[in-house]
């Protein structure tokens, strides 16, 4: 999931999904209960993506530095440093991404509604009476969800 992803409520309006850390803080539920590993991105995949992105951004920078120092653009130095970027930047950033973001908007929606929380702002919506169309309107953000209480005592 990226910052460009949106989640659609049950009335068709689009909202930004609440990230895992905010959902945990707002609800008081441990983040590992709200978002088990199956709901978060894979650490190595996120690390590879972040490392490749950083390496791609740094290759022209390294070439420009090499050109300014020696007058000859040396792409080799950037290619040699690419594994360092993958490990030095990709792994820490991939870990952070995997701890904070959902695997997909569907995972965010399902997990949050499973705990009767608004997927947009993590406000508790379990005790709010539904509107005539069956949607519960979140008093915090105004999103409309069809949510029912779910027993998470075994989770």
Asked whether the beta carbons of 58 and 78 are under 8 A apart, the reply is: yes
Give the 3-state secondary structure of residue 96. helix
Instruction: Fill in the DSSP letter of residue 118.
Output: -
- Closest C-alpha to 137, from 125, 127, 149: 125
Quote the CA–CA distance of 112 and 119 in Å, as a whole number: 5
Quote the CA–CA distance of 29 and 76 in Å, as a whole number: 49
pTM, rounded to two decimals = 0.68
Quote the CA–CA distance of 129 and 142 in Å, as a whole number: 14
Q: pLDDT per position in the chain (155 positions), as tens?
A: 566 789 899 999 999 998 898 899 988 999 889 888 888 888 888 888 888 788 777 777 777 777 777 766 665 666 677 777 778 888 888 888 888 888 888 888 988 999 999 999 999 998 899 999 889 999 999 999 987 544 443 33
């Amino acid at each position: 999931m990226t910052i460009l992803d949106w989640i659609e409520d049950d009335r068709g309006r689009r909202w930004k999904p609440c990230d895992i850390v905010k959902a945990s803080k707002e609800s008081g539920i441990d983040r590992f209960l709200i978002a088990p590993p199956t709901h978060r991105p894979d650490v190595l995949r996120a690390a590879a993506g972040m490392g490749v992105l950083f390496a791609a951004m740094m290759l022209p920078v390294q070439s420009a530095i090499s050109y300014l120092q020696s007058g000859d653009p040396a792409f080799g130095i950037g290619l040699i440093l690419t594994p360092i970027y993958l490990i030095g930047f990709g792994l820490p950033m991939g870990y952070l991404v995997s701890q904070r973001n959902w695997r997909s908007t569907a995972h965010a929606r399902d997990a949050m509604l499973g705990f009767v929380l608004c997927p947009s702002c993590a406000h508790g919506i379990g005790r709010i009476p539904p509107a005539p169309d069956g949607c519960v309107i979140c008093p915090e953000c105004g999103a409309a969800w069809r949510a029912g209480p779910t027993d998470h005592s075994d989770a």
